[in-house]
Chain A
């Protein structure tokens, strides 16, 4: 598994990164009101194209992408290529793997009252209440849960409290039967990936200049 991270590029640059973007995604980017949101979404898409080209030599066309029932994209003609993208704040993330994978990144910030109780299982909430740094632990648990949900392709269809993740670090989680890895790609960000197994992730930071280079066939 390889996990790529990139800071959001300025919109003046990212606005041209529409190669290979599938129709539904292009429509959603078009509807975004703020240039900063468009820039982040287009950076994440460009990072996916960069990862597919770098790892598999694939330069996808819009029609190569299909969407699962809950909107998770996949490459129909490449059953052994799996990916998951995420973005938050000013960072984009893309995990690619030979098996299904889920990735999530969040900018760490204070969360609203009642949120930890609402999303955590009883075991997770006990850990949270005992933690010295509750904010960090919250985002570790949250990104692990989101990574699992994205791995499953079910979105918020899976009740967040219905399963427990292990925030103590990387390893196979007995509740979900998946392997998880936590990472901090930059100060103030928490990220996690989830897969059925396989080797731990290679983590790669990608610059704006690397993304800007031609990714042609």
Chain B
């Protein structure tokens, strides 16, 4: 799951030379803004064939949050 999440983040966000690890924070480390976050969520929805309710978006701050959330949703 982590590798897939990492790949989607790298495809959708300008990561520069920031290495994506579980502790990476989308906002403070990658400077993801609201629009970037919505784009990422759309990409996760397509990749995992799920719908992410808007209320859940705010929970997705760290890569570890995303991995845990997606593991729960696709289980």
Interface residues of A (CB under 8 A from B): 28, 31-34, 37, 88, 106, 111-115, 118-119, 142, 146, 149, 155-157, 159-161
- Set of chain A residues within 8 Å of B29, measured between Cβ atoms: 31-33
Chain A nearest CB from B15 CB (Å) reads: 9
Question: Which secondary structure dominates chain A's binding surface?
Answer: helix
Closest 8 CB pairs of A and B: A112-B39, A114-B42, A31-B28, A159-B54, A37-B31, A33-B18, A34-B16, A112-B42
Q: Is the CB of A157 within 8 A of B58?
A: yes
Q: Within 8 Å CB of A115, what residues of B?
A: 35, 38-39, 42
Shortest CB-to-CB span from A199 to chain B, Å, is 28
A113-B42, A115-B42 given; A32·B58 CB < 8 A: no
Taking chain B's interface residues, is the majority helix, strand, or loop, or is none over half, making it mixed?
A: helix
In the complex, what distance in Å separates the CA atom of A155 from the CA atom of B41?
16
Quick one: which of B49-69 are within 8 Å of A by CB?
54, 57-58
| B45 CB within 8 Å of chain A | yes
Nearest CB in chain B to that of A87: its residue: B33
Selected contact of B31 from candidates A32, A106, A142, A159, CB within 8 Å: A32
